[in-house]
Amino acid sequence: MRQNGPYLWATALIYQIVISASSHLCLASASAVGFGLPRRTLSAHSSALGGGSSCRRRQVVMINGEKKPSSILFVCLGNINRSAAAEGYMRSKRPSLHVESAGTGGHFAGAAADDDMQLAARQRGVDLSSHRARQVTDQDFVRFDMVVAMDSSNLRSLQQRCPAAYQSKLHLFLPKYASHLGLSDTPDPYYEGGHLRVFDIISQGIDGLIASEKL
C-alpha cells in the first residue's frame, strides 16, 4: 500500500490541476463571449478539459460578468390588480422564469384577481384566473433576485421591511423600465378604474424589464 502512495498523490494533484484549469476557462469563456470572441472556439477548448456543459450553464446566467435574474417578485398593495397583472404578463412572455407577485398588505390574501383586471388581461391574451393574492413575507427578500414595486409608496414599505443586505434587490417599476411614459407610479385601477389602460402600461414596463435585464 505504501508503494501506491506517491502514485495516488500524483493522481490527485493532476486532477486538481485539471479542475482548476477547467474552472478558469469557464470564467474566461463567459467573459470572452461578452467581448465577441467566437463561442465555438471557446467551446472546443472547454470540451477538451471536460468543462463544456458546465461552461454553457454559466454562460446562460452571465452577461458581461453579471448574473441574470432568474426570479422576480412584483409587489403592489393588495395583489389583486397591478402586481397580479405584471406577474401574469411576465409569465406569458417568459414561461421559464420564476415569477410571483404579492401585496404589502394582507387584506386580500387568498382572493382572486379583480374581475375587471381579469377581463382586461383576457383581452390581451393573458389568463389570470388561477391567481390568488398573498402578502409579502420576509423570506421573499431572500428567495427572489428582484423585488419590483409597482409604486413609490409600496417601495417605501418594502425598503422599511427589507434587511440591508437585500436592499439592492428592490426596484421601482415604471421609472426604471418604462421611463418614456413619464410615470413615477403605476396607476391603481382599484381606485382610478381604467383596467385595460393600466394593463397596457404594465405590459410596456414588462417589455422594458425584459429588454433591460436581457431575460
**How would you classify the pairing of strands 71-76 and 66-67?**
unpaired
Find the catalytic residue in 82, 114, 151, 185: 82
pTM over 0.75: no
Is residue 177 scored above 90 in pLDDT? yes
How does pLDDT run across 71-102, given as a tens digit for each residue? 999 999 999 999 999 999 999 999 999 999 99
Query: pLDDT class for 68, splitting at 50, 70, 90?
Result: confident
Q: How far is CA 188 from CA 38, 103, 211, 214, 215, in A?
A: 48, 13, 24, 28, 26
Which range is most confident: 22-31, 59-68, 185-194?
185-194
The mean of the pLDDT values for the chain is 80
Q: Which grid coordinates belong to 134?
A: 398573498
How far apart, in whole angstroms, are the C-alpha atoms of residue 63 and residue 31?
Answer: 8
**For the residues 7-30, what does the mean pLDDT come to?**
41
How does pLDDT run across 106-143, given as a tens digit for each residue? 999 999 999 999 999 999 999 999 999 999 999 999 99
How far apart, in whole angstroms, are the C-alpha atoms of residue 187 and residue 193?
Answer: 9
* Best CA proximity match to 81, nearest among 121, 58, 51, 113: 113
Helix (H, G, I), strand (E, B) or coil at 178: coil
Query: pLDDT class for 66, splitting at 50, 70, 90?
Result: low
Enumerate the CATH 3.40.50.2300 domain ranges in the chain, comma separated: 71-213
Q: Which grid coordinates belong to 122?
A: 383576457
How far apart, in whole angstroms, are the C-alpha atoms of residue 57 and residue 54?
Answer: 5
11 half-sphere exposure, CB direction, 13 A CA radius: 5
Residue 162 is among the residues annotated as catalytic for this protein: no
* Best CA proximity match to 171, nearest among 61, 73, 87: 73
Is residue 14 scored above 70 in pLDDT? no
Q: How far is CA 111 from CA 66, 79, 81, 129, 135, in A?
A: 37, 9, 11, 11, 11
User: Cα(first)–Cα(last) distance of the chain, in Å?
Assistant: 55
Q: Which grid coordinates belong to 185?
A: 407610479
Residue 188 is among the residues annotated as catalytic for this protein: yes
Find the catalytic residue in 140, 151, 185, 188: 188
Is residue 24 scored above 70 in pLDDT? no
Instruction: Look at residue 9 in the predicted model and tell me its pLDDT.
Output: 44
Find the catalytic residue in 26, 76, 91, 114: 76
Is residue 3 scored above 50 in pLDDT? no
How does pLDDT run across 137-161, given as a tens digit for each residue? 999 999 999 999 999 999 999 999 9
Residue 76 is among the residues annotated as catalytic for this protein: yes
71-213 is classed in which CATH architecture? 3-Layer(aba) Sandwich (3.40)
Sign of the dihedral through C-alpha 121, 123, 124, 128:
positive
